[in-house]
Amino acid sequence: MDDLATFLAVPCLAVGLGWGIRGQFGHERGALVPGAFLGLSLALLSGWPVHAAIRLGAITMMTCAVGGLMTYGQTLGLVQNQPVSSIRWWGYLGLFVKGGFWFGFVGVFTGMMAGGVPYGAAELLVLMLVTTILGLVGMQLFNRPHQPPDRLPRIYFSGRASDKPRLEYWGGLWLGLLGVMAYAWFIKGDGAAVRLACWGILGGGIGFSFGEMLQCFGSHRVPFGQKAQPWIDWWKVMEITFGLFGGLFIAMGWVQTFGLRHPAPEFPITIPSRLELLGIVIWLPLAVIGHHSRDSICDLWELPFQALVIPIPCIFCGSVWPAFAIMPLLTLATARHIIWQEHYGRDKYIGRTTMFILIWGVFAVASLFGYQWWIGVAPLKTWFYCALVIQTGATVILAFCTRSALFPPPELKKKYGPLATFIAAGGQFPTTMVFVVMMLAIMALTTP
């Protein structure tokens, strides 16, 4: 493949893989994965030094997580469960709006970091606080009132007729995105950030809508026959397609804006490492509690953008947060989900004490590796390939660490022998194999 084809193919595959993995874990923590893959792949292909590359991967990772706040299951239902009608096209519009924000927000911060326009720590802190306020205002303007079944927003992309109409956030998120774009364009003169945001909006909007078209077609038309249908996860086809388009369009925007070999800008360290560590100590427990709490902490954590108030300045202007995000935080996001599943759901293999020991053990080991690689300047491919293997491996563990897969029923073992484990895993088996193939393809394309 020539340089341009490789430059477009690797982020496309990486984000497609990451989005498929994201679907296994869900919400904001799952969306960390495709974001990290995007930034690392762009920096690797552009020849960035490792510290600058990890910084870019961290910023795309954290900004991609914000879109996980949006609900879209009922929006997909407007397409999936309806005949060709105005309701179905309204569903597609909703997917374009939500997908467009998701990659548009990633794109604007990708451009801000790569474009060379300097942003200070205090400036970014104020920007994120203002963006959070804009998010609250946008929610009130576009996503409220939400008092089902009597009062719902006028512009509403979820199920009005549902027993539990979902609370939407897209209006607040879009107003925040437009605020960041306006600041980058009018105050900083940062055209690269705005251009990459526009590319991301197109890629995310088209990808989400087209991915759902494929899911709708596959689910209703059964193109490969009834025997093959149970082995094809059309929801996963939609997710991977969404990621493929998002990664491809941002890569195209990068090439159009910077070219193929864009040097990394300088990132002066202006935040003391002790202050960064204090930010981690404050931020991480809130993040963990916020995802598993039903009180005001959870409500606070689900406000648009506020989770980025500490990370964004620290990733741009600090020396600790980039490595913390790419190694311990990214690893913990998926590992914690698996460990919680083994305690609370599925087969309940482990007790509460074991669960907490495993969670913090994974965090400690990942932190140790991240620290050693950061100060020892480990090659960028080591970081990228490690992230690929850990996240893809996590989906394999999630698929096969069930009682039915580990201990298949006797009739399956008698009929299929060693293949019984894979048969017992059902539709998860072909999905995980697709992930493995995509991971190997990315590695092959990035190996000279």
Q: State pLDDT tens for residues 351-373.
A: 667 777 877 888 889 999 998 99
Residues 6+ apart with CB under 8 A from 101: 67, 70, 170, 173, 174, 177, 201, 204
pLDDT recorded at residue 146: 93
pLDDT surpasses 60 at 343:
no
Residues 6+ apart with CB under 8 A from 284: 329
* CA dist list (Å): 375 to 13, 54, 368: 30, 12, 11
CA pair distance 25, 65, nearest whole angstrom? 12
CA pair distance 321, 11, nearest whole angstrom? 23
* CA dist list (Å): 406 to 298, 412, 416: 35, 12, 14
pLDDT recorded at residue 250: 98
Listed by start position, the domains of the chain span 3-261+270-445
pLDDT surpasses 60 at 327:
yes
pLDDT recorded at residue 399: 76
pLDDT recorded at residue 67: 93
Burial of 396 (0-12, 13-18, 19+ CB in 10 A): middle
pLDDT surpasses 90 at 166:
yes
Cβ(204)–Cβ(99) below 8 Å: yes
The amino acid sitting at 361 is G
pTM of the model as a whole? 0.94
Q: Taking each helix axis from N to C terminus, what angle separates 352-375 and 380-400, rounded to the nearest 10 degrees?
A: 160
pLDDT surpasses 70 at 423:
no
For range 141-160, the mean pLDDT:
93
- Residue 17 phi, psi (nearest 5): -60, -50
